Structure 1
Amino acid sequence: MKLGIIGGSGLYSMPALASGRQRAQETPWGWPSDTLVEGEIEGLPVVFMPRHGRGHRIAPAEINYRANIAALRIAGCNVIVSVAACGSFRDELPPGTLVIPDQLVDRTQGRDKSFFGEGIVAHVSLADPIATDLAARVEAAAGAAGIPHHRDGTYLAIEGPHFATRAESRLAKAQGFDIVGMTGMPEAALAREAEMAYAIAAFVTDFDAWKPEAVSTTSVMEVLAANAANAQALVAALCRALRDEPLPRPSAQGWERALDTAFATPRVEWPLEPAARLRAIAPRLFA
């Protein structure tokens, strides 16, 4: 098992990988957000990538999500944990809380959301977009690290880069969403297409705009700095757990064979060039 860690806002490096190998990994969909860092944490092979690039240079809508997921897949990862920042729609989830959602709602626009097309059509199941076995390990790691946390809930993915209006925030709260972020989709969908386990470790930084105080980048970054140590501790505890007990297969969501029933286009009709690109994310089918 090889774990990919995608670092979100405030998490641009992993000190535990300070001596790791830098890897510039081009993909058929272009370059990922930054170089990958490969090494071991607590004896588990790990690859780290900062989603927004080091120095936070890439806005949510500008991220090449396909290249990020493909780069981790090419590097040998079959498990991804996204460490992210989020806003909260619930008083019980104050800043500093770690939320491990089990569902997502996608309200992003204009992003490249699939590896498929151009002659090869596939529809993966996203009924349960989060790998529950992996989410359970993240929850256990949070407990072991003493991090306040909450399991389950719905992550609302918005386009950004602006924060929500008060009306948008209050509507999302009334609809029953738990947290809001700008990067959970299409990341989760692409990970499923690449037959990888995916879970989100979302650290709450604010209450969005449904409360009187308005969220600001300054306030978010202040909370992110305080959350950084917890993020590092969470990853270390998770790596220990996965080292000692890898994820079971077959999985509850069947992520490791998600493409088996996804293709609408018969294999004999697959064009050569798109099929060659897809080897990067599904080598067992396109080798």
Structure 2
Amino acid sequence: MKAELNAPVGIIGGTGLTTLSGLEIVGEHPSSTIWGEPSAPLVEGRLGRQSVIFLSRHGNPHRIPPHQVNYRANIQALHDAGVRTVIGVNAVGGIREDMGPARVVIPDQLIDYTWGRPSTFFEGDLDAVTHIDFTWPYDHEGRQALIHAAGGAGVPCSDSAVYGATQGPRLETAAEIRRLERDGCDIVGMTGMPEAVLAAELGMRYVCLGLVVNWAAGKSDHIITMAEIEEAIEQGMSGVKRILTDSMAELGRLSPLPQPS
């Protein structure tokens, strides 16, 4: 069963994503949830017949550090707006030897190293305890839509990787990256959790579209600089935008998942 083509697809990432080719911005809507206000107003747009809703994870301007993002409000606001499929666009560091700067990555697993972040909707005065299955943190059909779009657009990408989510806002030490590597992590970032699990708790399809913006600590012979990160973003963001543009119609047609109960 397929949903209507105009079912909105949510994109969480930076403000630059609203410059997708062919995107028509329809409006900007402040929102509020029982968990507080999201990082920024929801920006509504259309790509052809497909409705898209953008949310700037770190605010506009970029001012909210990863450990202080109100992830619950962000996911709840998108859900309240009718979004049932979410693409989280993430800047990450490369650990695996083929995960160099400007590489596009569509991970299939993650390990959570964050702490102290509100990470569930299921707390407080509950009628019953709820445990969701999180075996596969990223939606399979959503991942396939991104992978197919990357192939069709000729954008090289890695379609299997383990995302290690760290606390931030500081970057990791070389010893910490060696630990993550021993644990099986291929990339490292600060915003992948609890975003993914919160979406799962609301029955939303969630996929990560990662862009490697630097080698992780100890994986190169120099310290990590903002100039290096900005160069990788400039080189790789065009591929990310092509994947987003070309996957929208397929993502919009995916049927909604049942909400856990």
2:98 equivalent to 1:97: no
Q: How many residues align?
A: 251
| Percent sequence identity over aligned pairs | 36
For residue 156 of structure 2, the aligned residue among 139, 148, 151 is 148
Give the secondary structure class of the aligned counterpart of 1:13: helix
1:85 to 84, 88, 91: 91
Q: Does structure 1 residue 215 correspond to structure 2 residue 224?
A: yes
Partner of residue 123, structure 2? 117
State the distance in 2 between where 1:96 and 1:5 align.
Answer: 20
In the aligned structure 2, how far is the partner of 1:128 from the partner of 1:13? 29
Q: Does structure 1 conserve the Cα–Cα contact (< 8 Å) formed by 2:90 and 2:210? A: yes
Provide the aligned C-alpha RMSD in A.
1.7
Q: TM-score, normalised by structure 1?
A: 0.83
Amino acid at match of 1:23: H
The equivalent residue for 2:196 is: 188
Instruction: State how far apart, in whole Å, the 2-side matches of 1:35 and 1:259 are.
Output: 27
Q: Is the 8 A contact 2:45 2:51 kept in 1?
A: yes
CA contact (8 A) 2:203 2:260 kept: yes
Shift of 1:28: 0.6
TM-score (norm 2): 0.90
Q: Distance in 1 between matches of 2:116 and 2:144?
A: 32
User: Which residue pairs with 1:229 in the alignment?
Assistant: 238
Of 42, 45, 49, the residue aligned with 1:36 is 42
| 8 Å Cα contact 2:25-2:46 kept in structure 1 | no
Q: Tell me, in whole angstroms, the C-alpha distance in 2 between the residues paired with 1:132 and 1:64.
A: 26
1:164 and 2:164 matched: no
Q: Hey, what's the Cα distance between the residues in 2 that align with 1:47 and 1:6?
A: 9
| Unaligned segments of structure 2, at least 5 residues | 1-6
Q: Which amino acid aligns with 1:203?
A: L
Give the equivalent residue in structure 1 for 2:208.
200
Q: Between Structure 1 and Structure 2, whose CA radius of gyration is higher?
A: 1
Q: Deviations over 1:57-78 (max 9, x none)?
A: 1100110000000010011000
Deviation at 1:103, TM superposition (A): 0.8
Q: For the Cα contact (< 8 Å) 1:103–1:153, is it kept in 2? A: yes
Q: Which residue of 1 aligns with 2:4?
A: none
Query: Corresponding residue for 2:251?
Result: 242
- Structure-1 separation of matches of 2:64 and 2:137: 25
Distance apart, 1:248 and its partner CA? 5.0
2:147 aligned counterpart, secondary structure = helix
